[in-house]
Amino acid sequence: MTTQDQPTASQTSAPDEPVLRYTPALAEQIELKWQDIWEERGTFHAADPTGGTLTDGNGQPAGDRQPFFVMDMFPYPSGAGLHVGHPLGYIATDVTGRFRRMRGDNVLHALGYDAFGLPAEQYAVQTGQHPRITTEANIANMRRQLRRLGLAHDPRRSFATTDSDYVRWTQWIFLQIFNAWYDPEATRPDGGVGKARPISELIDEFASGERTLPQDVPGVTAESQWADLSPSTRRQIIDSYRLAYTSESPVNWCPGLGTVLANEEVTADGKSERGNFPVFTKSLRQWNMRITAYADRLADDLDLIDWPDKVVSMQRHWIGRSEGAEVAFTIAGSGDQLTVFTTRPDTLFGATFMVVSPEHPLLEQVPDVWPDGTRDAWTGGYETPGEAVRQYQRDAAAKTSVERQADAGKKTGVFTGYLANNPVDGRQIPVFTADYVLMGYGTGAIMAVPGGDTRDYEFATQFELPVIYTVAPPEGFEGGAWTGDGLVINSASDTLDLNGMDVVAAKSAMNDWLEEQGLGTRTISYRLRDWLFSRQRYWGEPFPIVYDETDMPIALPESALPVDLPDVPDYSPRTFEPDDVDSAPEPPLGRNEDWVNVTLDLGDGPRVYRRDTNTMPNWAGSCWYYLRYLDPKNGDAAVSEELERYWMGPKHNDTAGVAGGVDLYVGGVEHAVLHLLYARFWHKVLYDLGHVSSREPFHKLFNQGYIQAYAYTDDRGAYVPADEVEEITAADGSVTYVWQGQEVNREYGKMGKSLKNVVTPDDMYDSYGADTFRLYEMSMGPLDLSRPWETRAVVGSQRFLQRLWRNIVDETTGELVITDEPADAKTRKLLHRTIADVTVEMEAMRPNTAIARLIALNNHLTSLDRVPREAAEPLVLMVSPFAPHVAEELWERLGHDGSLAHEPFPGYDEAELVEDAVTCIFQVQGKVRGRAEVSPSATDEELTELALADPGVQRALGDAPVRKIIVRAPKLVNVVAG
RNA sequence: GCCCCCAUAGCCCAAUUGGCAGAGGCAGCCGACUUAAAAUCGGUCCAGUGUGGGUUCGAGUCCCACUGGGGGCACCA
């Protein structure tokens, strides 16, 4: 560590250097000085509106300034520390926040820590320390690294998800969700239909008879009255409605991590997103969140927010809403119904067989013998349908996700022995079971139309099943399934004729017919599944839930919160061989019997209960942390309703819109369907229950790109230190990379210890200072683009700040070298032009182009004998969001008291933007042939005359007649020859 | 396999949305300062926009096809 008294003897400072040259050592002095001042003065304290408890640095409430809430995605306090890529987003939000503050907004910017979860726990396990100790040490280190960056955060609003006081409210929100149900008919304040309601209202409705009891719970009949039901049957009914519920169902079990995972945490190839371990399907009793109840709103409300198209489309895709119909087929013989979901009811006449998933309830019983007409290919070589189906079910169940992935596309299956009647024409068709049909989607059963669906076509080919086309393929069609548009064919019966219609019309006509006949209904299906919410790990929030002898969950009262993590003999998860299918989860919290068994008085006297030993996934803490920034110390509520409305409510400022939410949320795209979907879901539950006024948590989302880096390998493939590699340009322009005399290969990718290419913010502070580092990151390119880090290019940003410094301060004496004389006309015009351009670029979050303008202005000022104050002061103010420390220092030296953080951003005079003369270009056939300086107000006629008289134009025109003249005054005239 | 994004100078990137391809930075080269070097300052070189078509008076910008790179989804009926 360096201190202010002993500035880093930097490699660039020489003994005879002027004392006040803007060197890394001076930069560090300035930076540490202003960081202390900001902290002492509370410069970035965000004020509550009048009536709140938090004031600004002067002890004042917000007044009539517009609230602006800017936020970064919650960081994990990683044990590895930061590299230069991590702060990119933090600098971007800081720049935006500082800019908005200068534009007069009441800016709230804070940073907390997402400290629960697998990474923190794994780091603790590796180092053999309790996760709380390592987590707190990591947070302290990260705070230090970030403080040195000079971020304008309100430190009073920082916290970690692991703080007991925060855990308490995470658990409180869980209880809100647990104690709520989704009423699809209720009207919301925003006018929409469907909302979460307190579970007590459901009980009231059952008790009063207003709502009929569900019949699918054992012990409940059509005649049952609520009052007559046993307490445990009532609880069973109620529990089946809760938004947080336990269920025994197939889940993603990851032995390598020792925990179950949500669908969103499993990659397409059946591995855990974290750790890349195999994931198996296993039926276990687990907590779920009924996010599917919100599928429509999560999809629809994407229209209300300002997010990158990419993320919107990823969320839409993940929710996977598809409109279609459920159609009932009749099983021949028994007369039972087999309902399928289809998005193409128009192709019903082309259904030549059906497929049910191997887990489908229809298969609990199958016919004893193969029916007449059974082909050999269908039976799998078995004597009876029963044998064939059982064996197929066993094979399918034994498949891991990885194997399923590897087999995707291959069609396997077997005939079930059932025949069904196609409802449109009564034709008998065979029912197969095959694992390409998934139990979890639609009804777990499909009608197969090989003429119109590629998967069905493949299956039909393999099992010798007939193909009927119901949409006329185009000419030159080469066989297979035709999935495109066209006119309907082969689709008529006595009561229905779709022939000749297009697909859209046929769908609609078929749906109408099905509904008239009572054979089907229009339906919407979703890809989204409920959110698996429990983890068998130590480092997470315990569930505020206990169990009695019925094994049904009981919510702890709010007064029992927080439920803190107990000490356990060993907090490492019980993990297994990654491919150990037969293993089962073993939560570490179960290792503390004294904690698990607890005596409580929950209303009927002290009794012994068992605590839930699962913990919440780390997404829980990040689902609502933005709310806590608004009201970090509130002991009575997660967030006060007034503060939420002030900072996040609908139309809380000019850009908030009807949905409200955080004004700017910056983070990586990797959370597109995890954190961002879960947080939206929780927020909507809180909205329904009246705790928040905004419909969406994040109004504007911005995904910053990644800073990547080159890495170098020698001929054995081993990585060599990237900072020791030299780039050699040969005479022919070819480039080679050399390390210790040997040629090495260059790769491009992440920054990481194992790649030996890490550059840290600390390195940058030492060699250049925080301001230069910030400026460089912001000038590298557009914020949303990934790009390579290049340490040797950082010097460009340093030169800019040095020139700026020298334009204002004498390096030797420290005296001001500016003049109070007015600026010359050219300088003034450039200044106003720069202010205008920078304002536009800043508003559009294009720091790279804003900085380019600032450099251009500064370069111009460098060419003057003395820089006029008139230009120096606005320049310093404009630079301040990027390089706040040196800007503050210059501002002070320019004679101002106090921080420039709250100074108004410079304004410009429209009159100064008008140019005296512009260059008009003269084209012939679109090619430039001449030009002239003209007045900006020149008329079309004047310009035409000038153009036609131009020698270049005349030469290009030759003898050709002029057909047409296009004038875009005052910049362009294009003469078109005939 | 399907969908989305990107491609401009040796490198990172601009280009008022269809109107002179260059704002800024890095690197290179030349010069000034210096005993010398670094730093600094001044100057300068560098592409016709991945490829092929099309629309237009005019295309980096719009349309089509392709190539390369990045990302998402992947038996979702």
Nucleotide with C1' nearest the A439 CA: B76
pLDDT at A554 exceeding the cut of 50:
yes
Question: CA A197, A202, A204, A209: dihedral to nearest 10 degrees?
Answer: 140
Nucleotide with C1' nearest the A410 CA: B75
The average pLDDT across A497-513 equals: 93
Please state the domain extents for chain A.
175-317+530-611, 322-525, 916-977
As a CATH number, domain A916-977 is: 3.10.20.590
The average pLDDT across A609-638 equals: 95
- From the CA of A789 to the C1' of B30: give the distance in Å: 30
The average pLDDT across A552-575 equals: 90
pLDDT at A631 exceeding the cut of 60:
yes
Tokens standing for residue A311: 């993320």
**Which one-letter DSSP state was computed for residue A242?**
B
Tokens standing for residue A93: 């939000």
Q: How many whole angstroms separate alpha carbon A339 and alpha carbon A95? A: 57
A429: how many CB neighbours lie within 10 A of its CB?
Answer: 20
Task: Assign A647 a pLDDT band (cuts: 50, 70, 90).
Answer: very high
- From the CA of A850 to the C1' of B21: give the distance in Å: 21
Task: Assign A17 a pLDDT band (cuts: 50, 70, 90).
Answer: low
pLDDT at A312 exceeding the cut of 70:
yes
* Percent with pLDDT over 90 in chain A: 62
The average pLDDT across A3-14 equals: 37
Which amino acid, residue A280? F
Tokens standing for residue A271: 């591995």
Question: CA A389, A391, A394, A400: dihedral to nearest 10 degrees?
Answer: -100
Nucleotide with C1' nearest the A796 CA: B25
CA A957 to chain centre: 58
Give the per-residue pLDDT at A401.
Answer: 63
Nucleotide with C1' nearest the A859 CA: B24
- Kindly give, in sequence order, each residue whose CB lies less than 8 Å from that of residue A184, ignoring residues fewer than 6 positions away: A193, A194, A293
Which amino acid, residue A636? D
Give the per-residue pLDDT at A726.
Answer: 78
- From the CA of A216 to the C1' of B44: give the distance in Å: 84
**Cα end-to-end span (Å), chain A:** 76
Give the per-residue pLDDT at A121.
Answer: 81
Q: Between vectors from CA A291 to CA A289 and to CA A295, what angle results, nearest 5°?
A: 170
Cα-based distances in Å from A470 to A351, A421, A432, A559: 9, 18, 22, 64
CA A954 to chain centre: 59
**Which run of H or of E encompasses A523?**
strand A520-525
- Kindly give, in sequence order, each residue whose CB lies less than 8 Å from that of residue A400, ignoring residues fewer than 6 positions away: A270, A278, A279, A280, A281, A579, A581
User: Which of left, alpha, beta for A744 (phi over 0: left; psi -120 to 50: alpha)?
Assistant: beta
Nucleotide with C1' nearest the A356 CA: B77
Give the per-residue pLDDT at A600.
Answer: 93
- From the CA of A485 to the C1' of B52: give the distance in Å: 30
Closest by CA position to A892, among listed A40, A33, A3: A33
Nucleotide with C1' nearest the A342 CA: B77
Nucleotide with C1' nearest the A975 CA: B57
Q: Measure CA to C1' and name the residue nearest B56.
A: A926
pLDDT tens digits, one per residue of A219-233: 888 888 999 999 999
A636: how many CB neighbours lie within 10 A of its CB?
Answer: 6
Nucleotide with C1' nearest the A788 CA: B12
- From the CA of A767 to the C1' of B40: give the distance in Å: 18
Highest mean pLDDT among A176-190, A238-252, A696-710, A743-757: A176-190
Are residues A107 and A97 in contact, defined by beta-carbon separation less than 8 angstroms?
Answer: yes
Task: Assign A11 a pLDDT band (cuts: 50, 70, 90).
Answer: very low
pLDDT at A857 exceeding the cut of 90:
yes
- Kindly give, in sequence order, each residue whose CB lies less than 8 Å from that of residue A945, ignoring residues fewer than 6 positions away: none
Give the per-residue pLDDT at A582.
Answer: 83
Give the per-residue pLDDT at A355.
Answer: 96
- From the CA of A927 to the C1' of B59: give the distance in Å: 13
Q: Measure CA to C1' and name the residue nearest B28.
A: A729
Q: How many whole angstroms separate alpha carbon A770 and alpha carbon A757? A: 20
Q: Measure CA to C1' and name the residue nearest B1.
A: A409
Task: Assign A408 a pLDDT band (cuts: 50, 70, 90).
Answer: low
Q: Measure CA to C1' and name the residue nearest B72.
A: A314
List bases, strand B, within 7 Å of protein CB: 3-5, 10-15, 19-21, 23-27, 37-42, 57-59, 70-77
- From the CA of A19 to the C1' of B46: give the distance in Å: 39
pLDDT tens digits, one per residue of A373-389: 999 999 999 999 999 99
- From the CA of A12 to the C1' of B38: give the distance in Å: 8
- From the CA of A789 to the C1' of B69: give the distance in Å: 18
Closest by CA position to A879, among listed A839, A908, A851, A840: A851
Q: How many whole angstroms separate alpha carbon A25 and alpha carbon A3? A: 10
pLDDT at A400 exceeding the cut of 50:
yes
pLDDT at A927 exceeding the cut of 90:
no
pLDDT at A1 exceeding the cut of 80:
no
Q: How many whole angstroms separate alpha carbon A200 and alpha carbon A811? A: 73
Region of poorest pLDDT, from A303-317, A337-351, A566-580, A587-601: A566-580
Q: Measure CA to C1' and name the residue nearest B42.
A: A863
Closest by CA position to A496, among listed A423, A600, A579, A571: A423
pLDDT at A8 exceeding the cut of 80:
no
The average pLDDT across A86-105 equals: 95
Closest by CA position to A99, among listed A856, A908, A840: A840
Q: In the sheet that A962-968 helps form, which strands lie side by side, from edge to edge?
A: A927-934, A918-924, A972-977, A962-968
Give the per-residue pLDDT at A6.
Answer: 33
- CATH class given for the domain over A322-525: alpha beta
Q: How many whole angstroms separate alpha carbon A418 and alpha carbon A377? A: 16
Beta bridge partners, A428, equal A421
Q: How many whole angstroms separate alpha carbon A282 and alpha carbon A172? A: 30
The average pLDDT across A802-831 equals: 91
The average pLDDT across A511-519 equals: 95
- From the CA of A928 to the C1' of B48: give the distance in Å: 14
**Which run of H or of E encompasses A954?**
helix A951-957
Closest by CA position to A727, among listed A716, A712, A707, A714: A712
- From the CA of A638 to the C1' of B46: give the distance in Å: 60
pLDDT at A5 exceeding the cut of 80:
no
H-only helix segments in A863-930 = 869-879, 884-893
pLDDT at A949 exceeding the cut of 80:
yes
Nucleotide with C1' nearest the A792 CA: B26
Q: How many whole angstroms separate alpha carbon A484 and alpha carbon A350? A: 15
* Percent with pLDDT over 70 in chain A: 97
Give the per-residue pLDDT at A695.
Answer: 96
Mean pLDDT, rounded, of chain A: 90
Task: Assign A217 a pLDDT band (cuts: 50, 70, 90).
Answer: confident
Are residues A283 and A359 in contact, defined by beta-carbon separation less than 8 angstroms?
Answer: no
The average pLDDT across A599-612 equals: 93
Give the per-residue pLDDT at A733.
Answer: 58
Q: Measure CA to C1' and name the residue nearest B70.
A: A786
pLDDT tens digits, one per residue of A747-766: 887 888 888 889 999 999 99
- From the CA of A919 to the C1' of B20: give the distance in Å: 9
- Kindly give, in sequence order, each residue whose CB lies less than 8 Å from that of residue A162, ignoring residues fewer than 6 positions away: A113, A115, A116, A132, A135, A621
Q: Between vectors from CA A189 to CA A187 and to CA A192, what angle results, nearest 5°?
A: 50
Q: How many whole angstroms separate alpha carbon A747 and alpha carbon A714? A: 11
